[in-house]
Structure 1
C-alpha cells in the first residue's frame, strides 16, 4: 500500500485538493544566503511560506529557502525520504504511514490546536443525530488521513468499529461528489472542508474530533539534513521563525484569514471560519513524551487495522534536539487524548 495515495489532514482549500496528489518545485528562493546554505522546504498552498511572510519572519535570513509545493503530506514525506526536501509540514497521521513504510524521516517540531475542525458531517436533512446512528451507514473518508483516525475514534466512543459501517475510501474530490449526490451518509473531513460544508448549507456536524484526536501537526526533516551541521543550524533557525509566526497567527486571526484567503483562493468567510475553528488555534509545542504517546496510539490503531505493514515505534522517528528552542510560553507539558 503506497502512502502517497493518502490525503492528510492539512489545511488546504477545496480547489487544491481536487487536484491529484503530487509535488512541484517552486523557483522562488527567498532573500538571504550569506551562509551559503539553501534549505529545501516542502510546503502546501497557504502553509508555512504564507505564515512566515505574513508575520515578517522571512526577513533577515542568512540562508536561502527553496520552496517546493505539494498537495498533501504523504508525497511531501516521500520527498523527505528521497532527500529532495530537507523539511516540511504535515498533519498527525502521514508520519505514521511514512514510518510504517520504512521511510527515513525525523519529526523535529510540532504545533497543537483545536480539533473542532475534524468532523463527521452529514447532509443537512439527514435523520442521523449521533455517532451511534452511523451503524450500517456509508461513510466517506480519505484513507490514512487524520480524518480516518478521527472516524475510528468517534466510532469507538459510540461503541462501534469500522466493521459496523461501510467505509468508502475516497479522496476529497470524489468524497465531495459522493456527499453532494447522497451516495454516502456521512463524510469524515477537516477544515476548511468543514467550514465550507457548514457555510454553503449542504451539511451539518454530527460529531467532532475535539477530545478524541490529538490536534497535532508536525515538521518533519530528512535525517541527512540534520546530519549536516550547516543545514541543521538552518533548520533550527527555521523552526524558531515558524514558531514565532505561528504565535502571530494565533494573536491575529482576522489578519491571517485575509492572507490565507488570498494565498489559497478560499472565500474570506470560509477562511475566517476555519481560522477561528481550527487553523488559527495552533501554537508551537514540544515533541515531548505526551505527544509521542498520543501518536503511538494512532500508529497502534492503524497497525491493528492492518493499514500499515509493520509496527511503528513513533519515538524512533522523533528528534528532540530543537524542543528547547521554543518560545517559553509554549514549553509547558501538555496532555493529549488517547482514544480507545
Structure 2
C-alpha cells in the first residue's frame, strides 16, 4: 500500500513548491478574498502556499483592500506573470528570480525569509553503497534543471571537490525522477521538501547530504515594479507582507495545525506534511533584503552563468527593492529549528 500511495501523493505537490523547478505552466484562477475599499491586489500563489497560510493563521481578516489570487504550478511562470503585470506580487524560492533576472524580466525582490536547508537533499536508495558526497563521482544523479536542487547539487559537489562534469546528470522533473529513483535507474536524486520528507517517511531512501552550509535557504516575495510605483498598491503590499510575516510566526507556533491544513490543501499524508513543516517550512524567519542576501543570490546567478544556463551575467542588486526592510533582522539571521526535527 505504501509503495503505491507515495508515488501518487508525490505528483500532487508539483503545484505547491516554492523553491522550485522550471518548466512552463500557466496559472489557474484562485479564490478572491473580500476586503474593504476598491483596491484589488493581484497575488500570485502556489497550491498550499501564501493564501492557505494566511487563512489558517487568521490573517485575512479586516483587509482594507481586496486580494485576487492566481495559482501557479511553480515559480518561473509566476514570475512571468509578474513581468507581464498580471500579478502585483507573489512567492517563489531562491532560484526562479535568478533565471527571471537573466531573462531581463521586470521584477523586484521585496521580502525574504531565511529557513533551513535540511529539506534540500541528495537522496540515495536504501542499501546504497554511497556514503558521502565524494562517492557520487561517476554516478548518475537525477535533478530538475534550473531548480534550487540543481544549485544545491552543484554546491554540494563543489564542497566535495567535484563538479557537475564528474557525475552523470539526469535532468528529470520530480515525478519522472521519483520513478527513476525507486526503480534503481539513477544512483541518487537531488530534490527538496516535501519530496525529501515523502521519501524518508516511506523509507524509500536515505539522505546522502543536505543543503545546510552550501545553499542560502532563502525564499522571496517578488513584486512588479509597476505596482511599486503606485502608492496605494505599495501600501497594500506593505500590509500584505506584514500579515505574511505574522502568519509564518504562527506556523512555527502551531506546526500540527498548519500540517493538517497543508495536507488537506495538497493531498499530502499528514505525517509527511508534519515532517516537512518541522524540517523546512516552519523554520523560516523574515529577514531584510540586504547586501549579504544580494551577494548570496549573485553567487547563484554567477554559477548558472558559468554553466551556460543563463544567457549572460546579471547584477542581481538591480532586481531588489529594500523599502520594506524596516525592523527586520539581517538575512544572515539563524532559522528556527525544532528540537525534535
TM-score normalised per structure 1:
0.91
Q: Counterpart of 1:31? A: 34
CA distance in 2, matches of 1:214, 1:250: 20
Q: CA deviation at 1:297?
A: 0.7
Q: Partner residue of 1:66? A: 68
Matched, 1:331 2:329: yes
Instruction: Work out the CA distance in 1 between the residues paired with 2:295 and 2:333.
Output: 10
Question: Are positions 1:93 and 2:95 aligned together?
Answer: yes
C-alpha displacement of 1:202: 1.0
Q: How does 1:156-195 map to 2 (within 5 A)?
A: 156-195=158-197
Counterpart residue number, 2:316 = 314
> Aligned runs of 1:67-86 on 2, under 5 Å?
67-86=69-88
Q: Report runs of 4+ in structure 1 exceeding 3 Å deviation.
A: 18-21
Alpha-carbon deviation of 1:238?
0.6
Question: 2: distance between equivalents of 1:333 and 1:228?
Answer: 27
Report if the CA contact (8 A) 2:293-2:331 is conserved.
no
Asked if 1 retains the 8 angstrom alpha-carbon contact of 2:289 and 2:331, the reply is: no
For 1:146-165, list aligned pairs within 5 A.
146-165=148-167
Unaligned runs of 5+ in 2: 1-8, 17-22, 335-341
- For residues 196 and 16 of structure 1, the distance between their equivalents in structure 2, rounded to whole angstroms, comes to 11
Q: Which residue of 2 aligns with 1:274?
A: 276
Deviates most, 251-260 or 236-245: 251-260
Take 1:167 and 1:160, find their aligned partners in 2: how far apart are those partners? Answer: 13
Deviation of 1:173 (Å): 1.1
The equivalent of 2:257 in structure 1 is: 255
Q: Distance in 2 between matches of 1:33 and 1:266?
A: 34
1:53-108 per-position Cα deviation (integer Å, ceiling 9, x unaligned)? 01111000111101011110001001111111111000000000000011110000
Match of 1:264 in 2: 266
Instruction: Give the Å deviation of 1:182.
Output: 1.1
Question: Are the structure 2 counterparts of residues 197 and 21 from structure 1 closer, same or farther at C-alpha, using a change threshold of 3 Å?
Answer: farther
Residue 8 of structure 1 corresponds to: none
Give distance in 1, aligned partners of 2:282 and 2:296: 22
TM-score normalized with structure 2 length: 0.91
C-alpha deviation, 1:313, in angstroms:
0.8
Q: Is the 8 A contact 2:199 2:205 kept in 1?
A: yes
Unaligned 5+ residue runs, structure 1?
A: 1-11
Q: Map 1:296-311 onto structure 2 (within 5 A).
A: 296-311=298-313
Please name the residue that 1:236 is paired with. 238
* Alpha-carbon distance in 2 for matches of 1:203, 1:309: 36
